[in-house]
Amino acid sequence: MVISMSWSRFWRLFITNPLWQALAMGLLASLLAKGLWVAAPVTFAAFDWTFYDTWLRLRAPIATSELLVTVVRDPESEERFGPTLDRTVLAQVVTAVHEAGAVAIGIDHRLDHASPASLGGAASDTLFLEALQAAAPVVLVHDSETALQTGAAIQAHLQVSVQPDRVTRRIPIVSVIEGQEVPAFGALLYDRYRRQQPLPPVQPLISGRTSEEPFNPVGDGSLSALPTTTLSVIWEAIHHHDRRQLEERFSGKVVVILPNHLGPGPWLLPTGQSVTSMVPHLHLLNGLLTGNRIGVAGPWSAFGLTLLLASCIAWGLLRFEGSGGLVFAATALLGYLAITAAVLWSVHFVLPLALPVTAAGIVIIGTIAWTHLTAGPRMMLLEQDMLRVQQDAAAIREALTLRENRAEALEEDLEAARAAVTQSAAQREALTRDTVLLQVQMTEARAQEQAARQQLEMVERQLADLRVAGSDSRTLVDTELERLREECRALGITTQHPLMLSMFRDLKKAAASPLTVLLLGEPGTGKELFARAAHRLSPRTAQAFVAVNMAAISPELFESELFGHVKGSFTGAMADRRGYFELANRGTIFLDEIGDLRLDHQSKLLRVLQEKSFYRVGATAPTAVDVRIVAATNRDLQRGVSEGWFREDLYFRLKGFVFRLPPLRERTGDMAAVAESVLADIAQRMGRPCPRLSNDALRLLTAYQWPGNVRELRNVLERAVALTDGSILSRDAFSLDDTFGCGDTERSVASLPDAAGDRAVLECLRRHGFDMQATANILGWDRSTVTQRLKGLCFQALIESHGDLAKAALAIAGDASQVRTVELKLNEYYHHLLHVIEPFRSVNEAVAECKRRFKNLPERHFVSVDLLIRQHLPSSDGVLELE
Amino acid sequence: MLRRLLLIAVFSLCGGARSFAQAPDSPAPQVPLESPPPPPEALGEEHSSPAPASLEQLDAVMALGESRGAVRLAPDDAGHRLQLAHALYRIGDIDAAMEECRLAIKLQPDDAKAHVQLGILLIAKQDWRAAASVLQEAIRLDPGMADAHYSLGSVHYSLGHLKAAVQSYRQALALQPYFPDARYRLALLLKLSKREGEAAQFMEEAALGGVPQAQFFLGNAYKSGQGVEKDLGKAVFWWAKAAEYGNQPSADLLGKLRRQALAPDQPERKRKEAYDAFVAYRRQLWEEFREYSPADDRETIGTRLLNEHRTDAAVATLLREGYALSEVAQSELARLYETGWDNILPRHERKILACFELTAADGFLPAKRTLARIYGKGIGVQQDLPRAKTLLKGLPKQEANELLAEIGSR
């Protein structure tokens, strides 16, 4: 798999990069050219050296070295000494040349045979060896069979390198003969010469390398092209003791003695001459002495140049399509040929010709073919690339959505933090106020304490007097409570709960005041009864008591209902209509479910409370009213203020007298009386004798949590009465919901989400493709409010889908086209929730943290949050279960 | 003249392929040219003079006629046929000589000498393998033939068999201890075998035996210290000996050494080294005449012998000393040249003139002065004043003027 991926990547890189393609084509063409020429080595050699051979024929002849003296046989010497030179003669010549001051001596002579008697025998050989010893070291021609041993001679080879076209152009500098490294004759003499000269040290030509050195021939490359001296002349000088002449000829020179006649030989030179092997070596020596060396690119360099040229041409053909590429290729090829010729002419360096030109030809043909072949796959790859880019764009869009969500979440956190800061500041202020108030109250309390002490002393005195009279204080307290109970019962409030009675007593006092009364408590705790009591106990009892359920009024008709309207103010306003406030003028208006009032309606209500006047719908003049306000709600308005869904100024305006009515479950002592009262009422309405509760039934009812309080109790009792024929209601007559049994307080307080409002928001979101800002604009809300709504809906959907994200997203999106967007948001909300609760091990702590964090999340959605937290945190957590 | 002398010297050094190699004790007509006996007249000469070729050829033709007559009379006589073969060889008809030898062997197959003679002819034809085969057959027939071993040694060497050649020469010396040429040949091969000490020993024995080539090589050995202690005086001694036998390389070396001693452009060290060699040589000449000892520094053995009237050796010794740059000896020789010595030495002796010519050419001033006087006055030669003046060029001005005045007064 990995290999296939890497191959695929490599292929992609290769097919899209012309440079790689050019290199590959260059390499292929070079190898192909090399392979092609293997079949025709003769033509290859001739072609490869064409420039060189032509140059040798056309150029001006190179200089001959004055340092090189060649002693050759001449007809006179042949007549005198015969065709084969006696070693005695050779010895005398060597001695004379050495004594004349030659720096290096080379003789075209081998020590492979002993002199026959006809040529002086052993005497000649001895003389010759003595001469060599005196002139040591003398360079002789190597022969594997050596008849005469001497340490005075250095052996050199006379080999030449014949190329496949049978032309000799190079000489191996070192040749390995029978495992022995033998240097070339000319090169060895040059090294001997260099060693004798006070020249700066240079790398010896012979340094164990086995490379071949091209020789640079003088003229036509024959022996006659070199300056020579005849043996006869030298012999005459020797025997005339012409020391001066000998020194002039040989002093400081490299002397090569050729004792044998050198006619045409088997080796063909580029100039067309056929020579013996000694002649190329002499030309090599002359070239070295005159500094006319010729460089040749080695096989690897030649291949490298070929690869470079072929790749360059291939690149040009790929880069410039059509005729432009061909022009480039032709220019590159001609340029290379020009460089080859220029380099040869200027620096005497032979660049390869055949291989690069062939490779260039191959690559021109091959590249054109390749261009046509790869057009299809390249198009396919382009299409794949486009597809990939499109996929990348989609992924980027998704990432953008995620980033948006993340930003929103962060924004939310920021707002929560700001609210917390504001709240803490407000709390600090309130605390300061409370401190001052408490100090005042403390002072008052101390004064009251003092007064109370005095009263106590007085009472004690009265007590002492009364003891005498035989009455006690307990009777008096019970009497007070009984009186309050009676008053309550008269107002329809059945209770003997001290707190309730105390509250009633305070209500009596507050009823006289025009201040607003705020009643808090769960549904069914008797808020309306208390409101009516406040009216009845107030001086306005003769006036109207108008009860308005704020949650039941349609938002569109809010103003009309509360403030009334004038005729023609809107369609359907056929006549003037007085609103509830106007109806309650001089009386009391009871605003139930005030916590469910919309923010815009809250501001309008606030205005009425402040100004004591309002405008009817369509009216131009305000209407002043004198109304006692009694408000009630089962919601936590304090939290509404902190969460922003209830106006703080309205809250403070309503908070005149605040009464928190305890739920029925906390009034266990009232259960029997309340049940009896309710049963009596039921029996009366049903026209039946009033049944009674058995003790078991009473215990059951007392233990029940009564989330619906008295309203629920009434229903339960109605059902029990209806189902029971006897006069005793036993435990079995009641079928209470077990989920609200003893201890299960968590669910009992749960409230269902506001399904209608959420549905409207969700529809709006769906219509606008879940665009928060657009939805917020339409709804006239803040963007974060919409977000919180959606978040709550998402949590709810998650609970309903049992944690299946996809299903939940589909449920929220409603349409498959928006599933992805919703899924992303849902995922983000869920993970944010998990992130928030991550540090906590306790459900309560986690819930508390969530409530602190998600202050703008509607209360009803915390049920879902709670369930999600419970699902997430481990169920085995015994501590959690207990909590 | 000089060229001819050189050619002859080279020829003699290379060995006589044109004559048979014979053992010294072999009877006539064998002429052992490998180590030719010194002609009496050559003694004391630095350069040998060739024998008249026409007489020799005449003798050879005469001998051939006689041999043919003998063969005609007795065609089955192997000895006559061998003589005919030798006569044919002398006139250069080697093929005919080989034919006669083969006929002789056919007539007398066990004739070892006939085989040897055929072997030598084959050597002359450079047919080494056939020569080796024939010579080995000769040795088989007569193992005691030292000359067969000697010739076989030469053949072995030509074939490149150095060890076999040494063995053959050793065999020849074992059979014939007084065989200077064999010693010389053996010394050469030992020298080629890098056994310098043994080679020098054999070379010295051969030199003492009168082989000029051995003397030349021994001189070389003393010069370079190969196998012997380096001694340039002894080198001069042996080169002078060889030169007296007409050995041109030795004469050349002596000339070169003279020039080295006399040339003003030579380094002083080299000049002194060369000059001291000649002084040592002259001192060594006294040892040949142990009955005499020098009276003073100026006296030479030559002048002593002259004074003692030793007609057998006085002139030859004076010539040796003259060649060895002795001014006293040359002065005495100049007197002898002008006056002669009774009936012993004629006036204007050419050998003395040759000595002056050679040493003057090498730069010896007394010789130049003497020669200038001879040419200026035309003593024994045709008067040649320009040459005389040329010879005076290197002399001190006063001396040259006096000499010119003397010449002019005549």
pLDDT at position A874, please? 61
pLDDT at position A746, please? 39
Q: Note whether B15 contacts A133, CB cutoff 8 Å.
A: no
pLDDT at position A336, please? 93
What is the average per-residue pLDDT within A145-150? 84
In which region does residue A136 sit, left (phi positive, over 0), alpha (psi from -120 to 50) or beta (all else)? beta
pLDDT at position A460, please? 66
Is A877 a residue whose pLDDT tops 80?
no
Q: Which residue has the higher pLDDT, A875 or A387?
A: A387
To the nearest whole percent, how much of chain B has pLDDT over 90?
53
Mutate to test the interface with A, among B156, B158, B184 (most CBs of A within 10 A): B158
Contact present, B69 and B61 (Cβ < 8 Å): no
Is A259 a residue whose pLDDT tops 70?
yes
Instruction: Using alpha carbons, select from B192, B184, B134, B138 the residue that is nearest to residue B163.
Output: B192
User: Which positions ≥6 away from A307 have C-beta within 8 Å?
Assistant: A23, A26, A27, A30, A359
Helix axes A783-800, A755-767, angle to 10 degrees: 110
What is the average per-residue pLDDT within A636-658? 84
pLDDT at position A360, please? 92
Is A473 a residue whose pLDDT tops 80?
no
Q: What confidence category does residue B410 fall into, taking pLDDT thresholds of 50, 70 and 90?
A: low
What is the average per-residue pLDDT within B208-217? 93
Mutate to test the interface with B, among A110, A125, A126 (most CBs of B within 10 A): A126
Q: What confidence category does residue A474 fall into, taking pLDDT thresholds of 50, 70 and 90?
A: very low
Is A824 a residue whose pLDDT tops 50?
yes
Give the whole-angstrom CA distance, residue A572 versus residue A565.
Answer: 11
Q: Note whether A88 contacts B13, CB cutoff 8 Å.
A: yes
Is A742 a residue whose pLDDT tops 90?
no
Is B359 a residue whose pLDDT tops 60?
yes
User: Which positions ≥6 away from A749 have C-beta within 8 Å?
Assistant: A707
What does the DSSP 8-state code read for residue A841? -
pLDDT at position B336, please? 92
Determine whether A590 is exposed, middle or buried from the number of CB atoms within 10 Å of its CB (0-12, 13-18, 19+): buried
Give the whole-angstrom CA distance, residue A204 versus residue A676.
Answer: 133
B38-66, pLDDT tens digit by residue? 333 333 445 444 445 566 677 888 888 88
Contact present, A65 and A289 (Cβ < 8 Å): yes
In which region does residue A101 sit, left (phi positive, over 0), alpha (psi from -120 to 50) or beta (all else)? left
Is B11 a residue whose pLDDT tops 50?
no
Q: What confidence category does residue B22 fall into, taking pLDDT thresholds of 50, 70 and 90?
A: very low
Q: Which residue has the higher pLDDT, A501 or A453?
A: A501
Could you tell me which residues of chain A have a Cβ less than 8 Å from any Cβ in chain B? 80, 86, 88-89, 92, 113-127, 129-130, 133-134, 147-149, 239, 241, 243
If you average pLDDT over each of A211-215, A385-389, A510-514, B280-284, which comes out highest?
Answer: B280-284
pLDDT at position A434, please? 83
Count chain A–chain B contacts defined by CB atoms under 8 A. 79
pLDDT at position B153, please? 93
Is A744 a residue whose pLDDT tops 70?
no
Instruction: Using alpha carbons, select from B149, B171, B233, B199 the residue that is nearest to residue A126.
Output: B199
Give the whole-angstrom CA distance, residue A302 versus residue A304.
Answer: 5
Is B19 a residue whose pLDDT tops 60?
no
Give the whole-angstrom CA distance, residue A422 versus residue A405.
Answer: 25
A554-583, pLDDT tens digit by residue? 888 888 888 888 888 877 778 888 889 989
Q: Which residue has the higher pLDDT, B52 or B251?
A: B251
Q: Does B213 touch chain A (CB under 8 A)?
A: yes
What is the average per-residue pLDDT within A197-207? 66
Mean of the per-residue pLDDT values for chain A? 84
Instruction: Using alpha carbons, select from A670, A726, A727, A721 the residue that is nearest to residue A698.
Output: A670
Q: Which residue has the higher pLDDT, A688 or A315?
A: A315
Which B residues 87-126 touch A at CB under 8 Å?
123-124, 126
Give the whole-angstrom CA distance, residue B40 versus residue A503.
Answer: 182
pLDDT at position A652, please? 86
Contact present, A628 and A507 (Cβ < 8 Å): no
């980033």: which residue's tokens? A403
Tokens representing B55 are: 């007489």
Q: Which residues pair with A167 in a beta bridge?
A: A268
Q: Note whether B192 contacts A129, CB cutoff 8 Å.
A: yes
On chain B, the residues whose CB falls within 8 A of the CB of A115 are 158
Question: Is this prediction's ipTM beyond 0.90?
Answer: no
Tokens representing A599 are: 């923010």
Q: Which residue has the higher pLDDT, B43 or A483?
A: A483
What is the average per-residue pLDDT within A137-147? 88
Taking the whole predicted model, whether its pTM rises above 0.80 is answered as no
What does the DSSP 8-state code read for residue A657? E
Helix axes B196-208, B212-224, angle to 10 degrees: 140
Q: Which residue has the higher pLDDT, A429 or A262?
A: A429
Q: Which helix (H) or strand (E) holds A836?
A: helix A819-837
What is the average per-residue pLDDT within A235-248? 89
pLDDT at position B409, please? 60
To the nearest whole percent, how much of chain A has pLDDT over 70?
92
Beta-strand relationship, A153-156 and A138-141 = parallel
Q: What confidence category does residue A727 fall into, taking pLDDT thresholds of 50, 70 and 90?
A: confident
Q: What confidence category does residue A684 fall into, taking pLDDT thresholds of 50, 70 and 90?
A: confident
If you average pLDDT over each of A392-396, A873-877, B322-326, which comes out highest?
Answer: B322-326
Contact present, A80 and B88 (Cβ < 8 Å): no
Q: Note whether B160 contacts A114, CB cutoff 8 Å.
A: yes
Give the whole-angstrom CA distance, residue A707 versus residue A746.
Answer: 11
What is the average per-residue pLDDT within A50-59? 89
A217-229, pLDDT tens digit by residue? 998 888 888 889 9
B125-179, pLDDT tens digit by residue? 889 999 999 999 999 999 999 999 999 999 999 888 999 999 999 999 999 999 9
**Nearest CB to A121: which of B2, B6, B158?**
B158
Mutate to test the interface with B, among A86, A130, A145 (most CBs of B within 10 A): A130
Which B residues 146-185 touch A at CB under 8 Å?
154-155, 157-160, 162, 165, 185
Question: What is the residue type of B376?
Answer: G
Give the whole-angstrom CA distance, residue A94 versus residue A135.
Answer: 7
pLDDT at position A227, please? 87
On chain B, the residues whose CB falls within 8 A of the CB of A124 are 14
Q: Does B1 touch chain A (CB under 8 A)?
A: no
Contact present, A325 and A318 (Cβ < 8 Å): yes
